[in-house]
Amino acid sequence: MNIGLRKYEIEEILKKKLEKDPDLKYFIDDDATTRLIDLLVEGVAEAIDKNNRELDRQLRG
């Protein structure tokens, strides 16, 4: 039983949200800011994935 989404699925959702406003990429042309956003997307996806795995483990008992 797998409960919740996996990391790659969460990352895709977050990236699609960011791509909804392509003008933002135009105005954010700083490499450090772009890298920060990428790391935040990865971190959020990883945290949610870890939480889902822990919930799955606990529900299996």
- Got the DSSP string for 42-53? HHHHHHHHHHHH
Asked whether residue 21 is domain-assigned, the answer is: yes
Confidence at 1, pLDDT banded by 50, 70, 90: low
pTM value? 0.78
Asked whether residue 50 is domain-assigned, the answer is: yes
Domain range for 14: 7-60
Asked whether residue 33 is domain-assigned, the answer is: yes
Cα(2)–Cα(25) distance, integer angstroms: 35
Cα(3)–Cα(54) distance, integer angstroms: 10
The number of folded domains in the chain is 1
CB 10 within 8 A of CB 47: no
Asked whether residue 27 is domain-assigned, the answer is: yes
Asked whether residue 14 is domain-assigned, the answer is: yes
Asked whether residue 1 is domain-assigned, the answer is: no
Which pLDDT score is estimated for 14? 92
Tens of pLDDT, residue by residue over 6-44, are 899 999 999 999 889 888 877 877 889 889 989 999 999
Asked whether residue 28 is domain-assigned, the answer is: yes
